């Protein structure tokens, strides 16, 4: 017999994408009752982890994977991979909700940046900084002054401001104050502050200074030599972990509901979700663009290439997991290209195999060619899979009709923009800011 829908009074979350699962966990911790429904039979939505067979079903029309790639059970391939900043909002949410007890993490081996067709390691220690080819000797001295200012800067301590108002001063003016060269500015903006393009230079300096501080704090938080973490068995573990958390607080999960849809009243306000002829009523519905196409706008496209390899990416110190950022100016583009690599070391591939992803925002009518600069860094590739997806944003904030829609995942190889969306949606849904307890004690707000 088919399960009956739970009674009214719950927040309804359509889709088990990562953003929606995080919100369901946070709302559950707040004492809200959550019904989670998905048309798919698996967690993760667009950001799911798939097996080797599922990957070939999706991109190769059901072709059988080559035997040389090993057992299907050894593969957990993320469709939209992203690293986790060690001091970023994702880690704070994991600690706040105590979801860490369901997950295991391993540090990423290193972060790199492309400069003049050469892959250079982003320095993690003072010794690496002194030996780095990214700057000359005199430029390193100027940069040291800049980084000391950034690391010392404290909003509440005017002594650290050096007479500068970063809320008004542009980032360009701050760079000029320290007389930094264009190549250094590119490195700082794209490899440390993780800016996707250069419009930030003419904006207030404070957000960029905060972003650089986050990178430094992420390096120091776990002292692993890298600012990034990645879960064992892939990102598919994250939505499942938040689903477990929601279930602990009484949340209900219903997968394989292909006819799931939002129900509206005559005024156009959401009143619940419907599946198999039954309606579960609620005042709030959380979903992604797949459930509310008429309420979103297309803001761009992202191209991703998934590559299976039998070796690490060359010039990355044989790292089993690395990131390479290709700044826009290195390829004459408007936006950066991101290269992401994970491997059997994170239990996402068969022994001796590596998975590389190259992604960027689409700027032309030939998206596959736009990741060529990243693919050129990989060396030999065993298998290659291209995917181009539209990027959507909601046209309204959800407070009017009760439908709160998440943004599509962007091309970046880290979670900070996704977590910005989570925090913004939480504020709109609940009417309050998300205050995180990161002391290690689980929040239990009933």
pLDDT tens string 54-113:
999 999 998 999 999 999 999 999 999 899 999 999 999 999 999 999 999 999 999 999
Q: DSSP states of 355-388 as a string?
A: EEEEEEE--SS-GGGGGHHHHTTS---SEEEEEE
State the sign of the Cα–Cα–Cα–Cα dihedral 130, 136, 137, 142: negative
Report the pLDDT value the prediction gives residue 43, as an integer from 0 to 100: 82
The model's pTM is 0.90
Distance CA 201, CA 76 (A): 39
Residues of the chain with pLDDT under 70: 1-15, 439-446
Distance CA 123, CA 70 (A): 36
Q: Residue 338 contacts by C-beta under 8 Å, 6 or more apart in sequence?
A: 323, 324, 325, 326, 357, 358, 359, 360, 374, 411, 412, 413
Helix axes 89-97, 18-29, angle to 10 degrees: 40
Round the CA-based radius of gyration of the chain to a whole number and report it. Answer: 22
Give which of 9, 88, 27 is closest to 428, Cα–Cα: 27
Report the pLDDT value the prediction gives residue 13, as an integer from 0 to 100: 62
Report the pLDDT value the prediction gives residue 169, as an integer from 0 to 100: 97
Q: Residue 369 contacts by C-beta under 8 Å, 6 or more apart in sequence?
A: none
């Amino acid at each position: 017999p088919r399960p009956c829908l739970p009674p009214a009074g719950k927040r309804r979350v359509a889709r088990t994408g990562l953003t929606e699962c995080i919100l369901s966990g946070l709302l559950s911790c707040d004492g809200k009752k959550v019904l989670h429904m998905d048309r798919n039979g698996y967690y993760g939505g667009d950001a799911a982890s798939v097996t080797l067979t599922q990957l070939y079903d999706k991109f190769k029309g059901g072709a059988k994977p080559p035997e040389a790639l090993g057992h299907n059970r050894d593969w957990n391939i993320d469709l939209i991979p992203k690293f986790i900043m060690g001091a970023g909002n994702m880690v704070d949410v994991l600690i706040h909700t105590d979801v860490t007890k369901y997950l295991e993490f391993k540090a990423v081996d290193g972060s790199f940046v492309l400069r003049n067709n050469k892959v250079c390691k982003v320095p993690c220690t003072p010794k690496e900084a002194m030996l780095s080819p990214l700057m000359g000797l005199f430029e390193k001295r100027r940069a040291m002054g800049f980084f000391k200012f950034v690391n010392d800067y404290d909003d509440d301590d005017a002594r650290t401001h050096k007479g500068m108002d970063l809320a008004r001063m542009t980032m360009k003016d701050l760079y000029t104050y320290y007389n930094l060269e264009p190549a250094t500015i590119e490195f700082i903006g794209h490899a440390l502050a993780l800016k996707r393009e250069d419009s930030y230079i003419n904006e207030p300096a404070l957000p960029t200074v905060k972003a650089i501080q986050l990178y430094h704090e992420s390096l120091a938080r776990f002292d692993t030599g890298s600012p990034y973490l990645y879960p064992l068995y892939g990102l598919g573990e994250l939505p499942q972990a938040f689903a477990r958390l929601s279930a602990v607080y009484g949340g209900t999960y219903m997968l394989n509901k292909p006819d799931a849809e939002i129900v509206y009243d005559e005024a156009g306000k959401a009143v619940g979700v419907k599946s198999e002829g039954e309606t579960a009523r609620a005042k709030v519905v959380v979903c992604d663009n797949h459930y509310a196409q008429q309420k979103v706008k297309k803001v761009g496209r992202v191209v991703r290439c998934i590559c299976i390899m039998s070796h690490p990416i060359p010039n990355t110190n044989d790292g089993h997991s690395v990131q390479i950022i290709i700044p826009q100016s290195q390829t004459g583009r408007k936006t950066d290209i991101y290269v992401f690599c994970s491997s059997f070391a994170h239990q996402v591939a068969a022994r001796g195999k590596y998975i590389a992803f190259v992604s960027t925002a689409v700027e032309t009518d030939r998206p596959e060619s736009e990741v060529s600069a990243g693919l050129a860094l990989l060396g030999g590739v065993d298998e290659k899979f291209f995917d181009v997806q539209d990027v959507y944003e909601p046209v309204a904030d959800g407070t009017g009709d009760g439908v709160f829609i998440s943004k599509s995942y962007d091309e970046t190889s880290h979670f900070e923009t996704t977590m910005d969306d989570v925090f913004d949606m939480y504020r709109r849904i609940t009417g309050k800011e998300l205050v995180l307890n990161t002391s290690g004690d689980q929040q239990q707000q009933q």
